Amino acid sequence: MEKILQQLLPQIINIRHTIHANPELANEEISTASLVASTLHNFGYTDIIEGIAGTGITAVLDSGKPGKTVALRADMDALPIDEQTYLEYKSTIKNKMHACGHDGHTATLLAVAGLLIQCRGQFRGKVKFIFQPAEEIGAGALAMINAGALDNPKVDAVFGYHNTTKSKEGVFKVKAGCIHAGADVFSITIKGKGGHAAHPHLISDPIYIGSLIIQAIQSIVSRLTLPAEALVISVTQFHAGTTHNVIPEEATFGGTIRAVTTTTQQVVKDKISEIVDKICTIYGATSTVEFTHHFPPTINHIKETEFAYNIAQKVLPTGNAEFLMQPSMAAEDFSHYLEKVPGC
């Protein structure tokens, strides 16, 4: 198996560099999907379905022996970020970059596909490879599931991974239970009464009202939820006004909520809506609050987590398999797969 992997490695590195140099945003992964499909065909796969949920792909490897079906998933989309590196294979497209490492995820899963098809006599059952679009906007996994990615054959367990620059190369980290926080995006619009900045007593200032709301919603973290439960509320945008001497009629701001349980996610959304409404009422303004891009927390199943950890202990050097103590507050739409089938 090691010999096969070493033979595959130059091709896989080249694929990763190609994807990194040509990043595509969520639901735009046309060239990436085409490269994935052609690589799978060249490996000898025939049971390939393209165009799932737009640009998604699945492929099935049947060992020919009875057994369970295990799914392995990689995401393919990039982020709207301008790459500031000197890599030979840096992004060739302005304001698009694989800053979250999905190029590595995709290349790794292709390596596994290339390896396993040459070792199909060494296992039982089936392996289903899922190449997913649109993870960065929280839409890809659910769309793939709704399109049948976990069916035909029905998946018994699903596994994925996320690379990180926060640990040394070759280290495998896993956690039972919540490993990634759930996430929601919020957007708030405050409509007050604009006017001249010299006469604030005659207006309803949406900037001031917005600043009060931003401070107040932090009390949700410090005073309205369980202290032992990880929670983050971050305001990342605030837009209002066009000149120095006029207080505008409207302000908009928004950000993200990160929580480790779905119950807390809902509590936070309810509290934000309540705080916005009450503060706006006090100061004579109106408001709208919208929540989008919902990711539930990524909850690893115990049996599958222990299985993955035990295998890692067998194949990695001593000490390179670790159990995480705390979840990451980053979100991962792999959570949707784990709501449907056991996995890690």
Q: What amino acid positions are annotated as catalytic residues?
A: 77, 135
Residue with tokens 């492929």: 59
Burial class, 151, CB count within 10 angstroms (exposed 0-12 / middle 13-18 / buried 19+): exposed
Tell me the CA distances in angstroms from 134 to 22, 79, 251, one per residue in order. 16, 10, 30
Residue 210 CB coordination number (10 Å): 27
Q: Where are the beta strands (DSSP E) in the chain?
A: 48-52, 56-62, 69-75, 126-132, 157-160, 172-174, 177-180, 182-191, 195-196, 231-240, 246-247, 250-259, 286-295, 298-300, 321-323
Q: Following CA atoms 12, 110, 52, 299 in sequence, which dihedral angle do they give, to the nearest 10 degrees?
A: -120
